Amino acid sequence: MHGNLTSVNYPSNYLNDLDYIAEVIGPLNSRVVLTFHHFDLEWQEDCLYDFVLLRSDLKEEGTKLCGEHLSEREFVSRTNRAYVSFHSDFSITASGYLASWEIVDLSVCLNRKLLILEPTHITSLRYPRAYLSGLECRVTVSTSTASKRLLLTVIDLDLGHCMDDYLEVNLDPADEMKKIKLCGNDILPGTQLLAYGNEAHFVFHSAEDTAMGSPKNRGYNLTC
């Protein structure tokens, strides 16, 4: 599910004395991603005059924006809801904002099992677009033949700092010592990992990020 959200009267200037809330709701086990493609509101250092307030819960403080932002900015909800509050005062107005929203299904992160019958790509959620923060995705991959060892090939790996974001690959799920942690972007395409048997277990972790900014790393793409 996806769509667009704009300030009242966009692309013409918004009106004075507005105060309203737009709500985007996805199903359970989903997140709402808001991407602002255009943003131009009256500027004030503390955003006291005209502002957009972004929240996942009406009781939280949220992220307040004002002024003009020339690059795309992205907000990811912590829950399946996003609240976009808009306020304008009695004086200066501007063109407002244009945003797109997307509902991202997180159910694929819940201990998924994949049986490989033909060459398959294993990718991070939303790849090649930037992955979300606060993820803990688990998937077990196995071949259809117990005697056939699983071979993994890195096509693309673009993750954040190893303390925050990483892909943990256990090449022998029966032995915790056989884990390999992949992170950063220094691992060359074509790098191969050979499992000890016909199964491997993946855990993708991304740190919580309360800052709002431009989309970041692409994530990962492996074949097996």
Each residue's pLDDT tens digit in the chain (224 positions)? 999 999 999 999 999 999 999 999 999 999 999 999 999 999 999 999 999 999 999 999 999 999 998 788 889 999 999 999 999 999 999 999 999 999 999 998 888 999 998 999 999 999 999 999 889 999 999 998 888 999 999 999 999 999 999 999 999 988 888 899 999 999 999 999 999 999 999 999 999 875 665 558 999 999 99
Q: 3-state class of 171 per DSSP?
A: coil
Q: Which CATH superfamily is domain 2-105 in?
A: Spermadhesin, CUB domain (2.60.120.290)
Tokens of 124: 């991070």
Contacts of 181 (CB under 8 A, 6+ apart): 162, 166, 167, 168, 169
Strand partners, 4: 100
In CATH terms, 108-223 corresponds, of 3.30.870.10, 2.60.40.1930, 1.10.10.10, 2.60.120.290, to 2.60.120.290
> pTM of the predicted model, to two decimals?
0.83
Please give the Cα distance from 223 to 155 (Å, whole number). 7
Specify the pLDDT at position 211. 61
Q: What are the start and end residues of each CATH 2.60.120.290 domain in the chain?
A: 2-105, 108-223
